[in-house]
Amino acid sequence: MHYSLTFIQLLAAGSAFAAPHSSSALSQRQSNISSLNDEFVASGKLYWGTAADAGTLSETQNAAIIKSDFGQLTPENSMKWDATEPTQGTFTFDGADTLVDFATQNGKLLRGHTLVWHSQLPSWVEAITDPETLTSVIQNHVTELAGRYKGKIYAWDVVNEIFDEDGTLRESVFSNVLGEEFVSIAFKAAKEADPDAKLYINDYNLDSASYAKLTGLVSKVKEWRAAGIPIDGIGSQTHLGSAWPASDATEARAALAEAADEVAITELDIAGAAPQDYVDVANACLALEKCVGITSWGVSDKDSWRDDETPLLFDAEFQPKEAYVALLEAI
Ligand code: G3I
């Protein structure tokens, strides 16, 4: 493997994870090293993936790590509304196609991200005030985007970040013009466009079981599913730091699983990347049958949206960090 020397160096340096010390034990370890995704799949999960896009895929080291270590890709930005329909009715899929083609050629699962989100939303959508117009604009956007990749996407984040911290619906053009009806409109259009894809509601700060945003979302998802809205799964972004400790991860994911058929950790990064925090999150998914997989929100700290917090599994030089080694040991 491209990182095996570094792994041995970490062991030889007396890392906390270095159980075997003899050279034969080390070579035994080396021959047992598998990729993060392989280990997670062997433990019964569908994937350990990462966010990527044309820019990061063009970095040779980044692409090599994705090929060897990750089993699933999420477009970090290229499927968002501003990237795919910047002006009404004119669709641009170049960036999204690059990501989808890379995934297809390299046998990676895909999560689609995201169909309806208040952010990275073009101003022409924000300006709509008529409910009928906004309904058909949502339906058209979802139909074009989800329809283009029909059969290629394991799961779509159909709606993203639609709750406030107090568990009520977030104010946005969607909720202001259509009330909560936009949720039904988006999910039903997605179901029609790509009937076999799993359809998710995705949000952040779902990292403590008793937090109002989590309990509000869980109760709404139960209500919406009972009313026939085709919601399959709940995505927990899982951007962790001191406000959201990884130690609460197991209980929080279990609370989400009460409301849906499956749960995924969709955008994992952890400020400081402490090994035990990563292991806690991996264990939270492993402990929950409905948890299908984990997606890291990027490969290297160099390309992270939180680069100053060094939250990912590979450092800015693309070397695996202690958290990465701890995960291979723990899974
Ligand atoms: O594409 C433009 C480029 O043309 C321009 O020259 C450049 C100058 O700043 O900006 C580029 O856009 C950037 C875009 O990423 C694409 O690279 C934006 O400035 C930048 O704000 C944007 O950040 C993304 C952010 O979402 C936007 O909200 C991050 O990369 C992306 O990691 C982040 O991802 C979100 C998830 O989708 C939802 N959950 C939270 C997560 C973190 O914010």
- Segment 106-112 mean pLDDT: 98
Per-residue confidence at 249, pLDDT binned at 50, 70, 90?
confident
Domain containing 318 equals: 36-330
pLDDT, position 33: 57
Domain assignment of residue 26, yes or no: no
**Catalytic status, residue 289:** no
% residues pLDDT > 90 (the chain): 87
119 lines ligand 1 (CB under 6 A): yes
Domain assignment of residue 64, yes or no: yes
250 vs 219, more confident: 219
- Segment 204-218 mean pLDDT: 97
Domain assignment of residue 315, yes or no: yes
Which of 56, 59, 77 should be mutated for ligand 1, with most atoms under 8 A from CB? 77
Q: Tens of pLDDT along 291-321?
A: 999 999 999 999 999 999 999 999 999 999 9
304 lines ligand 1 (CB under 6 A): no
- Segment 9-15 mean pLDDT: 34
What's the chain's length in residues?
331
pLDDT at 143 over 60: yes
User: Rounded distance, CA 288 to CA 253, Å?
Assistant: 8
- Segment 224-249 mean pLDDT: 94
Q: Mean of the per-residue pLDDT values for the chain?
A: 91
Domain assignment of residue 1, yes or no: no
pLDDT at 124 over 50: yes
Q: What's CA 219's distance to the chain center, in Å?
A: 22
237 lines ligand 1 (CB under 6 A): yes
Q: Tens of pLDDT along 22-32?
A: 334 434 444 45
Largest Cα span, the chain: 71
CATH number at residue 212: 3.20.20.80
Which of 160, 266, 305 should be mutated for ligand 1, with most atoms under 8 A from CB? 305
DSSP 321: P
Which residue, judged by its Cα, is nearest atom 15 of ligand 1? 77
Per-residue confidence at 270, pLDDT binned at 50, 70, 90?
very high
pLDDT, position 21: 32
pLDDT, position 29: 41
Phi/psi-derived region of residue 299, left when phi > 0, alpha when psi is between -120 and 50, beta in every other case: alpha
Q: Which ligand 1 atom sits nearest the alpha carbon of residue 80?
A: 37
Output the CA torsion sign for 128, 130, 133, 135.
Answer: positive
Domain assignment of residue 27, yes or no: no
Domain assignment of residue 238, yes or no: yes
Count of domains forming the chain = 1
Cα of 77 vs centre of ligand 1, distance in Å, is 6
Per-residue confidence at 14, pLDDT binned at 50, 70, 90?
very low
| Six token digits for residue 277 | 């925090």
Cα of 305 vs centre of ligand 1, distance in Å, is 8
Q: Which ligand 1 atom sits nearest the alpha carbon of residue 113?
A: 37
Task: Look at the block and give the residue holding tokens 């403590």.
Answer: 208
Domain assignment of residue 162, yes or no: yes
The single residue of 85, 262, 267, 322 carrying the catalytic annotation is 267
Lowest mean pLDDT, pick from 1-10, 67-76, 175-184:
1-10
- Segment 110-125 mean pLDDT: 98
Lowest mean pLDDT, pick from 126-140, 237-251, 287-301:
237-251
pLDDT at 72 over 50: yes
Output the CA torsion sign for 169, 172, 173, 174.
Answer: negative
Q: How far is CA 41 from CA 46, 49, 103, 177, 266, in A?
A: 6, 11, 17, 43, 16
pTM of the model: 0.91
Domain assignment of residue 54, yes or no: yes
